[in-house]
């Protein structure tokens, strides 16, 4: 009876939720302190880390409202003004939240989206992809299971950015033949984490 109940609960959870539970159990079993507490979120809400440099600051504010209207919890990692800043700092913060499991997904906005994508992909457990249209957003999720999206505020308009974000956040990973390829991406990453 208990086994069936646990199985039903686990089947309703996504991989990130299960990973978080396992990490908490291992932490408790080994006595390892949790140095960076997970942000609290309403039950069932998924956390999206959101960041931008000065070039993406205005678009970040617009997209924050859009993401929240879709039912997600936004963790804004900055920047908080149009004062010049370095995009690697904010791309790293977004990617770190996703890579450590503190956020379900992440979105980073800079001028072109390319540099932030490069930075985010340096963080373990992150598969960042830049999207410039709805098709690339959908493909990144469905085929590559991207968990960080980068956008170029200087290359796309507000309406297109909203469409890209909505598609990216609501598209599931396709699995099947794509799973083998994503597993190969993960194995390449592991080769360099030694």
Taking alpha carbons only, the member of 69, 76, 143 closest to residue 103 is 76
From 54, 92, 143, 178, active-site residue:
143
Q: How many C-beta neighbours within 10 Å does residue 83 have?
A: 8
Rounded Cα distance between 178 and 180, Å, is 5
Examine the residue annotation and report whether 92 is marked as an active-site residue of this protein. Answer: no
User: What contacts 125, CB < 8 A, 6 or more positions away?
Assistant: 98, 99, 100, 101, 147, 189
* Structure tokens belonging to residue 97: 């939240």
Q: Rounded to a whole number, what is the distance in angstroms from the first to the last CA of the chain?
A: 43
Which residues are designated catalytic? 143
């Amino acid at each position: 009876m208990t086994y069936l109940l646990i199985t039903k609960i686990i089947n309703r959870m996504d991989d990130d939720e299960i990973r978080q539970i396992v990490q908490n159990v291992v932490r408790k079993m080994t006595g390892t302190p949790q140095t960076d507490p997970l942000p609290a979120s309403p039950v069932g809400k998924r956390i999206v880390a959101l960041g931008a440099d000065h070039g993406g600051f205005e678009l970040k504010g617009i997209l924050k409202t859009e993401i929240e209207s879709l039912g997600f919890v936004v963790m804004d990692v900055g920047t908080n003004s149009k004062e010049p800043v370095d995009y690697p700092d904010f791309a790293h913060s977004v990617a770190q939240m996703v890579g450590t499991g503190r956020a379900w997904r992440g979105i980073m906005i800079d001028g072109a989206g390319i540099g932030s994508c490069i930075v985010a992909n340096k963080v373990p457990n992150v598969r960042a992809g830049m999207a410039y249209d709805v098709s690339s957003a959908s493909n990144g999720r469905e085929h590559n299971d991207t968990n960080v999206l980068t956008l170029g505020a200087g290359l796309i308009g507000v309406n297109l950015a909203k469409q890209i974000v909505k598609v990216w956040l609501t598209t599931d990973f396709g699995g099947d033949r794509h799973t083998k390829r994503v597993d190969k991406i993960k194995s390449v990453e592991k080769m360099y984490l030694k």
